[in-house]
């Protein structure tokens, strides 16, 4: 029988509980799920690619059909190299839909054999995004319950470290 491999691509800067929720759902319906972090030198990220991979690896260690990887270039080319037949994306609210539809259609134009599958995270996470998590953490707010505790700890260390560097530069 055919094994269905799916790619769950994203920036994961940082991984949130919403991402983890989707990974868990995806791991139940696909034979193998590859969580693929985009290596994007043009977009400045809070966490390095290696840090993002490490957090994902740590938090997905309990799923035996989930693998963490990184990619650059076109997603469809990466998916073909991985022999994947699906791309998993999360849709939280109707506002995600337009962008996601556009991307799914463009990916279909580029590689018609690849299907995009949308899943909804638990409604508790429907307002959650990595961008808001970064902003809240930078402004000293609590991100408890929004990201896994090890990610919370890394955010705290990263932001305290950055603030120390700014203070040193100002001196
Ligand atoms: O979590 P994000 O940042 O919304 O993920 C966006 C991502 C990584 C899925 C998208 O930017 C992507 O697929 N980039 C790879 C380059 C590519 O294939 N671009 C054409 C998309 S139609």
User: What pLDDT is attached to residue 2?
Assistant: 85
**Gap from CA of 10 to ligand 1 centroid (Å):** 6
Mean pLDDT of the chain: 94
Determine contact, residues 107/76, Cβ cutoff 8 Å. Answer: yes
pTM of the model: 0.94
Mean pLDDT of 5-10: 98
Q: 59 C-alpha vs ligand 1 centroid, how far in Å?
A: 22
Write down the pLDDT at residue 120: 96
Residues at CB less than 6 angstroms from ligand 1:
9-11, 38, 74-75, 103, 106-107
Confidence label for 10 from pLDDT (cuts 50, 70 and 90): very high
To which residue do tokens 């962008």 refer?
Answer: 99
In this prediction, residue 171 has a pLDDT band, given cuts at 50, 70 and 90, of: low
Write the DSSP assignment of the chain as a string of letters. Answer: -PPPEEEEEE--TT--HHHHHHHHHHHHHSSEEEEEEE--TTSPPSS-HHHHHHHHHHHHTT-TTEEEEEE-S-HHHHHHHTT--EEEEE--SHHHHHHHHHHHHHHHHH-TTPEEEEEPPPGGGTT--HHHHHHHHHTT---BTTB-HHHHHHHHHHHHHHHHHHHHHH-
pLDDT at 165: 59
pLDDT tens digit sequence for 23-75: 999 999 999 999 999 998 888 999 999 999 999 999 999 999 999 999 999 99
Q: What is the mean pLDDT of residues 111-123?
A: 97
């Amino acid at each position: 029988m055919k094994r269905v491999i799916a790619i769950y691509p994203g920036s994961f800067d940082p991984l949130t509980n919403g991402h983890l929720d989707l990974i868990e759902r995806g791991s139940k319906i696909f034979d193998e799920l590859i969580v693929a972090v985009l290596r994007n030198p043009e977009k400045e990220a809070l966490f390095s690619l290696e840090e993002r991979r490490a957090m994902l690896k740590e938090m997905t260690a309990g799923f035996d059909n989930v693998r963490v990887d990184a990619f650059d270039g076109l997603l469809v080319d990466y998916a073909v190299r991985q022999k994947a037949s699906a791309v998993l994306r999360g849709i939280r609210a109707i506002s995600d839909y337009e962008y996601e539809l556009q991307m799914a259609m463009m990916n279909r134009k580029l590689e018609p054999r690849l299907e995009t599958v949308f899943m909804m995270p638990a409604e508790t996470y429907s307002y959650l995004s990595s961008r808001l998590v970064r902003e809240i953490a930078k402004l000293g707010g609590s991100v408890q319950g929004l990201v896994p505790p090890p990610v919370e700890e890394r955010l705290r260390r990263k932001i305290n470290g950055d603030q120390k560097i700014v203070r040193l530069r100002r001196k």
